[in-house]
Structure 1
């Protein structure tokens, strides 16, 4: 590792034997924008994020199996939520029953959805930023880590603000942030963080879903630590992203479960 004017050149051997070089600055990528609707009215479908420019870009040639793994995830990302799609409707209803077991859902358009933290009666209008995968992420979270899911949904832990973040729409924003942080819509990784994640995805094809759960729990922890309220969401998501980037670049991260923040999750 070479020190040079506040940055370091990291050389890390990734699976497949190729060595990848990336110049990483001391100030990591941050979320730099937020929609006016979040500031003035409430959280919208996405928090806009972009990475800082670096001196060198990652060069990473993918093997066929890596390409296939990335393409499967990209295919999921490209699917938009379609309120007329029966599969999508069933997934949304399943999320309701996982969130409020024993409570009858009166309809796909209902004031009940506001209890979960959607902006209005129709959750489908909030999926624009995250697509169908953001619903899949929430549903996976509810089934894989139900205790953590319900703690966040019901805001059970810590001294909460009077003006809390809306749970469901915050979840859509987290999906969107992770897609941008990892640059998952690019043909190949463009950062060391993205390359490391691709190897984690190769080890576990549900790595993105698990990372989503980690991120949601980590975001809530930082929310409490920072004594944040509704208007602070963008600051909290910045801090969460920085922490994720640091953890993904740790040398001993071989599986998504090796991330220190994974320990925050409880089933």
Structure 2
């Protein structure tokens, strides 16, 4: 029981964030893949839910030993994942302002709580309520995307490419979902990876501390590519996310990958 009277004990920060998000917003049930059982999903938007599920404790999964460098890199990434977004922390406030200025450099932000945030695809005037599903790292991911691939960031933010549906996905909330999905897909809460795709990612992470942020950018652009290919609309978001995850796993499992820049979908990004 936590100090707010909850019925769960949070083992890690990310799990605590998930529990809080699940309390705050309506759960649904989805079958994500054939390898995992149906679990409750924490809704991060009106109709947008994370591609997430719970595994049975009895499921046997392999584990992969880590080199000392990989172990240290994973621990540093887990430390980032454990940080919830806190609107009272100046660093978090500054990062949110920086995201706005990267997204809308010519438009003055009137406040950290403002109707303007809806222009970016947040649910309401206070983005902090949406960060519960992904923590501070989901803000860092968006900011990394904006700074390192500004053209792709703007194209997705303003829906400038392709034949779009009348009812589009909200950019910012989709970004939080992508952070959440990647943490699950790579099994980043575990002490060491229990899937081959997770083990492969940690090799990249040991060589590039920004590997998770870079993979986030690749995934966001891949998701939008899948969205357009599937001629999807708002209520198809979960189907698109599942397809994105399958394609991303397939690309990460290709032979002869030496860095994330070799992943085929990296070519979708533009600076």
Q: Which residue does the alignment assign to 1:71?
A: 75
Give the C-alpha shift of residue 27 in structure 1.
5.3
1:233 aligns with 2:237: yes
SS at match of 1:128: helix
C-alpha distance in structure 2 between counterparts of 1:213 and 1:30, whole Å:
28
C-alpha distance in structure 2 between counterparts of 1:30 and 1:258, whole Å:
32
Output one character per residue of 1:73-103: Cα deviation in whole Å (capped at 9) or x when no partner: 0000000000000000000000000000111
Q: Which residue does the alignment assign to 2:22?
A: none
Output one character per residue of 1:210-244: Cα deviation in whole Å (capped at 9) or x when no partner: 00000000000110111101100000000000001
Question: Taking structure 1 as the reference length, what is the TM-score of the superposition?
Answer: 0.84
Q: Which residue does the alignment assign to 2:10?
A: none
Report the CA distance shift for 1:29/1:216 in structure 2 as closer, same or farther (over 3 A).
farther
- Aligned positions, number: 238
Report the CA distance shift for 1:37/1:143 in structure 2 as closer, same or farther (over 3 A).
closer
C-alpha distance in structure 1 between counterparts of 2:259 and 2:202, whole Å:
11
C-alpha distance in structure 1 between counterparts of 2:155 and 2:40, whole Å:
28
Question: Taking structure 2 as the reference length, what is the TM-score of the superposition?
Answer: 0.83
Cα pair 1:31 1:237 within 8 Å, conserved: no
Q: Which residue does the alignment assign to 1:266?
A: 270
Residue of structure 2 aligned with 1:220, choices 206, 217, 224 = 224
Residue of structure 1 aligned with 2:50, choices 38, 47, 69 = 47
Cα pair 2:36 2:53 within 8 Å, conserved: yes
Q: Which residue does the alignment assign to 1:169?
A: 173
Report the CA distance shift for 1:52/1:64 in structure 2 as closer, same or farther (over 3 A).
same
Q: Which residue does the alignment assign to 1:207?
A: 211
* Greater alpha carbon shift after TM alignment, 52-61 vs 169-178: 52-61
Residue of structure 2 aligned with 1:160, choices 139, 147, 164 = 164
| Gap runs ≥5 in structure 1 | 1-25
Give the C-alpha shift of residue 58 in structure 1.
2.1
SS at match of 2:133: coil
SS at match of 2:52: coil
Cα pair 1:34 1:234 within 8 Å, conserved: no
Give the C-alpha shift of residue 50 in structure 1.
2.9
Cα pair 1:147 1:266 within 8 Å, conserved: yes
Give the C-alpha shift of residue 258 in structure 1.
0.8
Give the C-alpha shift of residue 112 in structure 1.
0.1
Aligned-residue Cα RMSD (Å) equals 2.1
